[in-house]
Each structure stands twice: as structure tokens, then as C-alpha cells.
Structure 1
Amino acid sequence: MSSAKVLLGARIKQIRRAKGLSQGELSERIEITENYLSRIEVGTSCPSLPTLEKVAAALDVSLKDLFDFEPFREETREVETLLKSAGTEKKRLVLSIAKLILRGE
């Protein structure tokens, strides 16, 4: 899986949730299946440009906004900073918790 596809999918999901839309609502608006939207959001499918244009329009954002990955970079830097100062046991605990949380997505 390319990191760009994963970031794009995560960004679409982030904006969709911020707009208060379910996957079903967005997929209906852009005339794709909910399953396909789910695959886009987890980064296993790469949408075409026409689909991305529909997503942007349905979410009332620009195409450029879909590719604004800076919020993820900021979060990653913050996590890295916190982990640098943590001891080995705390790092292991964080890893265990992260695995539990991320498996549920």
C-alpha cells in the first residue's frame, strides 16, 4: 500500500467525519458503493480523478484540500516528540495500546 493512498484515504475520512457524514451518505452522494468508499478510506483502492472531484464537491472542499496531509504530519511529530522522552516500558505500553486501538478500525 502506498503511503500517499493511505494518507489520501485518511484525509477523506477525516473531512467526511468533520462534516458529520457517514460512509453511506457520502457514497450515495458521489454514486459509488459504500464498500468502495471504505477501501478508498483505508488506502487499498485509489480513486480516479473524476471520483476525487465528486468527493471534493460532496464534501464542499477543493481537490487541494483532499491532499493537505499537514495535519497528519503535525500529529506524527507530536507523537514522536512524546515518545522520545518516554522510557522503554512506556514505549512498550504505548505500542500495545496503539495496536489494540488500530486493530478496531
Structure 2
Amino acid sequence: MSNLDQDLARRLTELRRARNWPLEDLAERTGISRATLSRIERGDTSPTASVLGKLAAAFGLSMAELFGAASATIERLVPRDVQAVWTDPETGYVRRTLTPAASGYRGAMIEGCIPPGATVAYDAPPVPDLEHQLVLLEGSLRMVIGPDVYDLEPGDALRFRLNAPNSYHASGPVPARYFLTVITP
């Protein structure tokens, strides 16, 4: 298990305890079993992107805030070798936090890379009206946001406020790599 996974496990435990929620309450709020939550908090397993989305929603945090709080000290310059990198154990999706969420800043920047044919889906936005601005760098990406479908090719940009279930699908023969800026309302 990576250092980021261990930091994230500690962060999730701290968030739950700060709200005085037993594991049963968090399980009820997220639809994730108590046993799975316990394994995540102990660092025995790495959560999937879908599970992290549910946890972020339960805590009222964006994914960037969830990861940002688990990342290194916030500075103006974030050298590549200290940027937090997380891999979804289910899909192989790799998320690099370029600029983590930080006090005094509403935005965070992420580099995502989804393997060909893989889909990363979220049941609900973690925070209503969360602004996303995405530019596809390589590959082909199908974005589904509620009922709307967008097929992106390299250089295409998409901006939206997230208020619905959504998914990212690498629809081509090569990984879909993108930059995403997330701005809290």
C-alpha cells in the first residue's frame, strides 16, 4: 500500500471521528459496507474511485479536498516528484494531484489517465455545483454527465458544473490523458 493510501486511510478515519460517526453511520450514509470501510481505514485495501466519490459526498468534500488534505504541505510550487499519485485498484485509473486543494484556494488541478476501455463512474457529485474544466491531452474520452454525452478528442475542452451522476470512459485504443481543474463553489 502506498504512502498516499495510508495517509488517505488516516484522513478518512479523522473525518469520520471528527463527526462522531461510528462506522455503521458512515456505512448507512454511503452504501458502503461497514467491513469495507473498516478495511479502508486500517489501510488493508485501497478504495476505488467510486468508493472515494461516495465518501467525499458523505463528508461534503470534493475529491480534490479529500486528496488535498492527504497530500504533502501546500506550497505555491508543487514539484512533480512530490505530487500525490493514486491508482484506482479496480480500473487502473491514475490520478495525479498537480495542485492540491488548500486553504485560501477554491481550485485544484488534476492529471488523469484512464486505460483504454476503462470507465470511472461516480453515482453523485460530492459537492453540488462543483465546477470542472477539462482538456483532453491524449486518447479519446467519452464523458457522460447526467443525460448528456460528450465525445472528446485531443485538444477538446469541456467545462461544466457537476450536479448529476457522471462517468469518464477511455473510448479509444490508447489511454485517455487529461488535465482537470476543479473549483469549489
Give the TM-score category using the shorter length: 0.5 to 0.7
Query: Which residue in the other structure is 1:32 paired with?
Result: 32
Letter in 1 for 2:56: A
Alignment partners' CA distance in 1, 2:66 and 2:41: 12
RMSD: 1.7
Alignment partners' CA distance in 1, 2:42 and 2:7: 9
Q: Which runs of 5+ in 1 are unaligned?
A: 74-105
**Greater strand content:** 2
Letter in 1 for 2:27: S
Q: Determine which structure has greater relative contact order: mean sequence separation of CA pairs < 8 Å that are 6+ residues apart, divided by chain length.
A: 1
Query: Which residue in the other structure is 1:100 paired with?
Result: none
Query: Which residue in the other structure is 1:64 paired with?
Result: 64
Alignment partners' CA distance in 1, 2:12 and 2:41: 6
Query: Which runs of structure 1 show a deviation greater than 4 angstroms over 4 or more consecutive aligned residues?
Result: none
Matches within 5 A, 1:20-99: 20-67=20-67, 68-69=69-70
Alignment partners' CA distance in 2, 1:27 and 1:3: 25
SS at match of 1:61: coil
Give the TM-score of the pair, scaled to structure 2: 0.36
Alignment partners' CA distance in 1, 2:54 and 2:70: 19
Query: Which residue in the other structure is 1:96 paired with?
Result: none
Alignment partners' CA distance in 2, 1:69 and 1:47: 14
Q: Identity rate of aligned residues, in percent? A: 36
Give the TM-score of the pair, scaled to structure 1: 0.61
Letter in 2 for 1:22: P
The answer on whether the counterparts of 1:5 and 1:46 sit within 8 Å (CA) in structure 2 is yes
**Greater helix content:** 1
Aligned residues: 72
The answer on whether the counterparts of 1:53 and 1:63 sit within 8 Å (CA) in structure 2 is yes
